[in-house]
A and B are shown apart, each in its own frame.
Chain A
Amino acid sequence: TQLLEQSPQFLSIQEGENLTVYCNSSSVFSSLQWYRQEPGEGPVLLVTVVTGGEVKKLKRLTFQFGDARKDSSLHITAAQPGDTGLYLCAGSDLLGSARQLTFGSGTQLTVLP
């Protein structure tokens, strides 16, 4: 069974601060995705990283995929209250002809104004 561990589990910061969330596994994934989930809603895809060492930027969010494709990080610069939510990483692999995701336990981020 492939497992993804996220840290920290909870994070509460002030508006304007920077933060990094980590996602680690002992397994290699063909790609890794980051989702953000708000209360009462389903997760929304933020980014997919495919290549080991890949870095993707989405405005104030920077995503990195580890060289060995076993870990990833999400860095947020100058966090805003609107960034509050549950951040989930998910490793993707092929099961037959269909892709399957294994989710981490999530990081609950609260950005205080």
Chain B
Amino acid sequence: EAGVAQSPRYKIIEKRQSVAFWCNPISGHATLYWYQQILGQGPKLLIQFQNNGVVDDSQLPKDRFSAERLKGVDSTLKIQPAKLEDSAVYLCASSSSSTPVGQYFGPGTRLTVT
């Protein structure tokens, strides 16, 4: 079974530029998560999708971050414009509806904003 795929793996941009990350979850997983992990910290949930609907985006900085999962499968997270403090690893995870639930993570995209 293929795992969660993410691209790109690394991205370096200048502040005020835009960037987009892509995630393809495990086949059949209805729930998809985007996390931000700053160096030395645990992952922080940005947004959670159930199929193509948003379950929780309370911690998403909506003035600059946006995410979509149009067909309920793969997802894109965008930052526009980027700030220095956005430098982090962006992790995508997916899970199924069975319990107890574990989340399966992709390798992440390491973003550096200069």
Residues of A at under 8 Å CB distance from B? 4, 6, 31, 33, 40-45, 48, 50, 88, 90, 92, 95-106, 108
Quick one: closest B residue to A35, CB to CB? B105
Asked if A106 and B103 sit within 8 Å, CB to CB, the answer is no
Known A-B contacts A92-B101, A105-B42; the reply to A98 vs B55 at CB < 8 A is: yes
Q: Is the beta-carbon distance between B45 and A43 smaller than 8 angstroms?
A: no
- Cross-chain contact A101 with B103 (CB below 8 angstroms): yes
| B interface residues, tally (CB under 8 Å) | 28
Q: State the CA gap A54–B62 with chains docked (Å).
A: 40
Distance, CA A42 to CA B9, complexed state (A): 11
CA–CA, A108 to B39, complex, Å? 11
Please measure, in the bound complex, the distance between the C-alpha atom of A99 and the C-alpha atom of B44, giving whole angstroms.
15
User: Could you name 26 residue pairs across A and B whose Cβ atoms are closer than 8 Å?
Assistant: A4-B42, A33-B102, A40-B110, A41-B107, A42-B4, A42-B93, A42-B107, A43-B43, A43-B91, A44-B105, A45-B103, A45-B104, A48-B100, A48-B101, A90-B42, A96-B50, A97-B50, A98-B55, A99-B95, A99-B99, A100-B45, A100-B48, A104-B42, A105-B41, A106-B40, A106-B41
Chain A interface SS verdict (over half): strand
User: How near does chain B come to A91, taking the closest CB pair, in angstroms?
Assistant: 11
A98 touches B42 (CB 8 A): no
Q: Which of B87-114 contact A (CB under 8 A)?
A: 91, 93, 95, 99-108, 110
Which of A6, A48, A99, A103 is B43 in contact with, Cβ under 8 Å?
Answer: A103
| Pairs A-B, 7 closest by C-beta atoms | A42-B105, A103-B42, A45-B102, A48-B100, A99-B101, A98-B55, A98-B50
Q: Report whether A31 and B100 are in contact in the complex, using a CB–CB cutoff of 8 Å.
A: yes
Q: Is residue B24 contacting chain A, with contact meaning CB distance below 8 A?
A: no
B89 CB to nearest chain A CB (Å): 9
Whether the Cβ atoms of A88 and B31 lie closer than 8 Å is no
Min distance, Cβ B95 to any Cβ of chain A, angstroms = 7
